Amino acid sequence: MAITLDGKLVVAISSRALFDFEQENQIFEQGDDRAYMQLQRERLDVPATPGVAFSLVQKLLAFNEPDAQRVEVVILSRNDPVSGLRVMKSAAHYALPIIRCTFTRGEPPWRYLQPLKANLFLSTHLSDVRAALAAGVPAAQVYPHSAHASDAHPHEVRIAFDGDAVLFSDEAERVYQDQGLRAFQQHEMDKVALPLPDGPFKPLLVALHRMQQAKTPAMRIRTALVTARSAPAHERAIRTLMDWNIDIDEAMFLGGLDKGEFLREFEPDFFFDDQTGHIESAARHVPSGHVVSGVRN
């Protein structure tokens, strides 16, 4: 019987999103990949420290049980294979059960997302994220300077999403950009009973919802919608989630307030937003990723 990842939550992640390789990357950015490779070779047995997305990956992998493998994490990296060896040794050091990996030595690795049937791709490379989103894979550019996740919720994966251009399409956002707030509010009131079109991260939310329903004893999932919308535009967003038959645990309709401090209190393992301003604010408090989609991008 052929081995397949069907039915699993598949997360593809770059080495710099999972581990802190910023010091090594400075050498790579100087254009000397040989020096970078040599440094990684010299540090082969030195485990890298956890990166921005480490907590998310560690907790998602905890959903796996001997008789129920629900999550697969795959390293998808621009590293060369020798440098990749350090990545995999670091994963083993932290007892992360990651067995699949692809190292492309500078070539774009996103093209392997579709064979993996990935539900999420996390990378520090903007071009790879753009290409993944264009191919229909939920993807975000990880901000390496983001704060790391709190350890306050060891048995709960917490994920926060923006609404427009992330969970939902940018249909309403385009109205706001073109015609202003008043027109946006009227548009949403007029279409309140019509579900918003799907955004790039709906498939991930659906996959997480399936895992929520599984009710594994070791881990739980808690989700939040954190949006600049406010009443009366909140209703269409909630009705859309109802139409999708998906329960969001928390919803914050902030009416343009800074999201960072609210996210600090929610303490997510990751936050996804399409606007760099929101990401910069959030990154001071929580792990954050830029969803490079919609009219803003």
State whether 214 and 102 are in the same domain: no
Which helix (H) or strand (E) segment is 277 a member of?
helix 276-283
Number of H helices, E strands in the chain: 13, 10
Confirm whether 4 is domain-assigned: no
Q: For tokens 């399936």, name the residue.
A: 210
Containing structural domain, residue 43: 9-142
Tell me, what CATH number does 117's domain have?
3.40.50.1000
pTM: 0.94
State whether 170 and 221 are in the same domain: yes
State whether 132 and 185 are in the same domain: no
State whether 161 and 286 are in the same domain: yes
Confirm whether 147 is domain-assigned: no
Query: In which region does residue 19 sit, left (phi positive, over 0), alpha (psi from -120 to 50) or beta (all else)?
Result: beta
State whether 87 and 129 are in the same domain: yes
State whether 129 and 167 are in the same domain: no
Active site residue 247: no
Confirm whether 267 is domain-assigned: yes
Q: How many domains does the chain have?
A: 2
Dist. CA 270–CA 249, nearest whole Å: 15
Question: Alpha-carbon Rg of the chain, whole angstroms?
Answer: 19
State whether 133 and 167 are in the same domain: no
Q: Which of 162, 164, 273, 274 is catalytic?
A: 162
Among 142, 177, 203, which residue terminates a domain? 142
Among 111, 142, 173, which residue terminates a domain? 142
State whether 219 and 286 are in the same domain: yes
- Tens digit of pLDDT at every position of the chain (297 positions): 578 888 899 999 999 999 998 888 787 777 667 888 888 899 999 999 999 999 999 999 999 988 888 999 999 999 999 999 999 999 999 999 999 999 999 899 999 999 999 999 999 999 999 999 999 999 999 999 999 999 999 999 999 999 999 999 998 888 888 888 888 889 989 999 999 999 999 999 999 998 888 767 678 999 999 999 999 999 999 999 999 999 999 999 999 999 999 999 999 999 999 999 999 999 999 999 999 998 888
